[in-house]
């Protein structure tokens, strides 16, 4: 299969200035040569140097006089290409019909249509990139904010794979030393080795724990913070959503219970991605539809990364407020004392007597746009220690990577326990090898073909 020459549209299928058809494989240059005329027709594509670009025309392979489009053709010969194979890119006019017509001409000349992600899959299989870098490609494409993009670009450059390779090098050194000592005890002594290994084991455990802990922030950087707005009816939840989104997404009236179902929006606040959900006002009700909305609100609140509890500070607390406060006690939450432009009845001090002392409380008015900047800064402080930026430390954004790291961490803890129990050295070797294999899954050195196929099936065509 890998000997096939593949082709696909590498740019968005929409009207644009330029469209690119990518061709990769052993016969890429020969296939495009069949359907192209360069310059004045005296030079063939098969004769040009690698990493050069040429003006010409794409023509019907069976009827050379029939010009399809005026193009620029790039040639990148193996192994210095994205796929590490001979690769040709045809830059044609970007109309949808034209790009499709050029692709059809390439396919007629002998290429086959590439599967989703097949170019990147070939880059991985041909050893140009490892699996973590390949996954970073799709993360770059799907990045929802600049911080997720920054994290993905760093991973594409090797931040994750370099760290994993470093850890694996430490592990394989210890495995090799133990195996050598067991095979040749006369020349290699294990006296005092358990103490040395314990020190190294603790260091590796610490590194793995930091990587695993970074995954929670990494997931939010990549996918956004799952945020649920809760409060009793008419507290100002829908007004807050409209203010954050910047348009009238939710119906706002003075009638309590207007919002009966769930409204979902993805928004960015100074680069922070929020998957924000406005829920039905939580209260006891006999209305069947509203009751379903209230149950949904409770379910989403239970699963949220962040809860925004909107309190109507202009009216006394009631049973609905007490129910909400009981529900959010052990969640990450920001409390907005809304309608602060009116006479205040509910104060921060009165809420502190009931709620967790760690909850941040902010006076707001969605009507007058008061307190929203403080709310945004509070988000930064809560989730990214005041700075939403990726520093030089590795940040895990892929949950598959996190699972492999946790497996390796568990194996290393077993090594530590074996050392504490004064277990024979060959037991250390087994668990060290298990940790080594788990980390190998991240970069693709210990991974099954089915998983590889599953990962690349999620890519877009042409990438």
Among 43-57, 218-232, 395-409, which is the least confidently predicted range?
Answer: 218-232
Give me the pLDDT at residue 84, please: 95
Helix segments in 77-158, DSSP class H: 96-108, 118-125, 131-142, 146-157
Residue 257's pLDDT band (cuts 50, 70, 90): very low
- State the CATH class of domain 224-384: alpha beta
Give me the pLDDT at residue 283, please: 52
> Percent of the chain at pLDDT above 90?
37
| pLDDT(280) > 90 | no
Among 80-89, 304-313, 403-412, which is the least confidently predicted range?
Answer: 304-313
* Matching fold, domains 134-219+398-444 and 224-384: no
- State the CATH class of domain 134-219+398-444: mainly alpha
Give me the pLDDT at residue 291, please: 61
* Cut 0.75: pTM above it: no
Mean pLDDT of the chain: 83
Give me the pLDDT at residue 147, please: 66
Instruction: Answer yes or no: are the C-beta atoms of 106 and 21 closer than 8 Å.
Output: yes
Helix axes 449-456, 131-142, angle to 10 degrees: 20
pLDDT tens for 7-21 read 999 998 888 899 999
DSSP string, 167-228: HHHHHHHHHHHHHHHHH-TTTS--TTHHHHHHHHHHHHHHHHHHHHHHHHHHHHHHH-EEEE
pLDDT tens for 93-119 read 999 999 999 999 999 999 999 998 899
pLDDT, mean of residues 15-41: 93
| pLDDT(250) > 60 | no
Residue 347's pLDDT band (cuts 50, 70, 90): confident
Residue 40's pLDDT band (cuts 50, 70, 90): confident
Residue 288's pLDDT band (cuts 50, 70, 90): low
Give me the pLDDT at residue 72, please: 97
Quick one: which of 244, 237, 234, 221 has its CA closest to 278? 237
Per the listing, tokens 């299969």 go with: 1
Fold of 6-130: Gyrase A; domain 2 (3.30.1360)
pLDDT, mean of residues 386-403: 69
Give me the pLDDT at residue 397, please: 77
Give me the pLDDT at residue 416, please: 95
| pLDDT(420) > 80 | yes
Higher-pLDDT residue of 108, 376: 108
Region class of 144: left (phi > 0), else alpha (psi between -120 and 50), else beta: alpha
Per the listing, tokens 């430390």 go with: 393
> What residue spans define the domains of the chain?
6-130, 134-219+398-444, 224-384
| pLDDT(323) > 50 | yes
Q: Which residues contact 158 (CB under 8 A, 6 or more apart)?
A: 133
Give me the pLDDT at residue 387, please: 46
pLDDT, mean of residues 354-359: 80
Higher-pLDDT residue of 458, 309: 309
| pLDDT(64) > 80 | no
Give me the pLDDT at residue 36, please: 94
Among 2-6, 164-168, 411-415, which is the least confidently predicted range?
Answer: 2-6
| pLDDT(207) > 80 | yes
Q: Is the dihedral of CA 166, 171, 175, 178 positive or negative?
A: positive
DSSP string, 253-286: -SSTT---S-EEEEEEETTEEEEEEE-PPP----
pLDDT, mean of residues 166-187: 89
| pLDDT(28) > 90 | yes
Residue 26's pLDDT band (cuts 50, 70, 90): very high
| C-alpha separations of 429 from 60, 80, 207, 425, 439 in Å | 63, 39, 20, 7, 15
């Amino acid at each position: 299969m890998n000997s096939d020459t593949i082709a696909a549209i590498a740019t968005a299928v929409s009207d644009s200035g330029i469209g690119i058809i990518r061709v990769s494989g052993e016969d890429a240059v020969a296939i495009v040569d069949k359907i192209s005329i360069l310059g004045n027709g005296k030079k063939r594509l098969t004769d040009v140097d690698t990493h050069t670009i040429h003006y010409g025309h794409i023509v019907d392979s069976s009827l050379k006089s029939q010009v399809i489009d005026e193009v620029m053709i790039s040639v990148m010969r193996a192994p210095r290409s994205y796929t590490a194979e001979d690769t040709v890119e045809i830059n044609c006019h970007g109309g949808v019909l034209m790009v499709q017509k050029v692709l059809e001409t390439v396919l007629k000349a002998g290429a086959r249509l590439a599967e989703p992600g097949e170019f990147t899959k070939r880059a991985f299989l041909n050893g140009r990139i490892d699996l973590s870098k390949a996954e970073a490609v799709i993360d770059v494409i799907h990045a929802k904010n600049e911080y997720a993009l920054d994290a993905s670009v760093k991973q594409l450059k090797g931040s994750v794979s370099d760290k994993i390779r470093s850890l694996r090098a430490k592990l394989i050194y210890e495995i090799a030393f133990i195996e050598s000592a067991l095979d040749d005890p006369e020349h290699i002594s294990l006296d005092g080795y358990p103490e040395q290994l314990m020190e190294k084991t603790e260091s590796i455990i610490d590194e793995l724990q930091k990587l695993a802990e970074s995954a929670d922030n990494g997931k939010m950087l990549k996918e956004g913070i799952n945020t649920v707005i809760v409060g009793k009816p008419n507290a100002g939840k829908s007004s807050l959503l409209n203010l954050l989104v910047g348009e009238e997404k939710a119906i706002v009236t003075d009638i309590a219970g207007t919002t009966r179902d769930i409204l979902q929006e993805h928004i960015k606040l100074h680069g922070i991605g929020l998957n924000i959900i406005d829920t039905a006002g939580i209260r006891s009700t006999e209305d069947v539809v509203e009751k379903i909305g209230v149950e949904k609100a409770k379910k989403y609140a239970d699963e949220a990364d962040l809860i925004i509890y909107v309190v109507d500070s202009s009216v006394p607390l009631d049973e609905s407020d007490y129910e909400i406060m009981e529900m959010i006690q052990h969640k990450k939450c920001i409390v907005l004392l809304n309608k602060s432009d009116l006479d205040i009845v509910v104060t921060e001090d009165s809420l502190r007597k009931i709620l967790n002392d760690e909850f941040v409380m902010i006076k707001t008015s969605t009507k007058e746009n008061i307190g929203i900047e403080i709310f945004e800064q509070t988000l930064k402080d809560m989730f990214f220690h005041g700075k939403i930026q990726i520093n030089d430390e590795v940040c895990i954004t892929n949950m598959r990577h996190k699972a492999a790291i946790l497996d390796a961490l568990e194996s290393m803890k077993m090594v530590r326990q074996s050392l504490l129990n004064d277990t024979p050295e060959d037991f250390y070797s087994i668990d060290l090898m298990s940790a080594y294999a788990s980390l190998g899954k991240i970069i693709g050195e210990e991974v099954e073909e089915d998983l590889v196929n599953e990962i690349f099936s999620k890519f877009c065509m042409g990438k």
